[in-house]
Amino acid sequence: MRVDLVTLFPELFETFLRTSFVGRAMTGGQLEVRLRSPREFGLGRHKSVDDTPYGGGSGMVMRVDVLVACMEALDAEAAAEGKPRARRILLTPQGKPFAQPIASTLSTEPAIMLICGRYEGFDERVRSFVDEELSLGDFVMTGGEVAAMAVIEATVRLIPGVLGNLESTHEESHGEEGLLEYPQYTRPAEFRGVTVPEVLSSGNHAHVAAWRKQLSLERTQARRPDLLDRRETSPKSKP
């Protein structure tokens, strides 16, 4: 999988791309990342990438011509190497909420491009040059770089061969069942008066599975009942 990153601060990704399973995926060849700054296509002596908003207002707005030039340069380089065009994804608070099913879909794409904003946002015309808009949540950050890292981490871990045990992703929170994960325990068996549930030491795998399923349902009902509503309306949940 290839990830193209459009960011004014490529240095923010240096440690992230060398760390944990993302770094292993880079080393192992499952992940390729290309970083490109819109500043390379900036205007004038100062390589300007933003300007004041038409109609007035506070802050600066990222220019459409600079951003599109950056995106198209990445695509042109990929085409010259015989590689596929990336699916362009604009990271913005106005986008579709990023969720596990989206990460699963993106993990099957040969290439995605994550466009990180800064300042007061993008010129509205940028939206005409992307394939999708995603939001990390109902809050505002100063840039899209942290959101891009979240999308990369959630997506890359689903690529076969990246994690040691891909099956573990099926039972975790927001996995195939759409539920929160059941409680997990490890040694010691007792800590400050709290013991590990006996069923987990019983050796009866059927009982363990039933206990975990029940606890997943109860935890989801208590903490995220909206997930159960979504699960009931999902085509996968229907017989």
Query: Counting Cβ atoms within 10 Å, is residue 148 exposed (0-12), middle (13-18) or buried (19+)?
Result: buried
Say whether 141 counts as a known binding-site residue.
Answer: yes
By DSSP bridging, strand 2-6 and strand 50-51 are unpaired
Give kind and range of the element (H or E) at residue 102.
helix 100-106
Say whether 139 counts as a known binding-site residue.
Answer: yes
Say whether 117 counts as a known binding-site residue.
Answer: yes
Categorise residue 90: left if φ over 0, alpha if ψ from -120 to 50, beta otherwise. beta
Say whether 138 counts as a known binding-site residue.
Answer: yes
87 closest CA partner among 130, 32, 33, 150: 130
Say whether 137 counts as a known binding-site residue.
Answer: yes
Binding residue numbers for S-adenosyl-L-methionine: 117, 136-141
Binding residue numbers: 117, 136-141
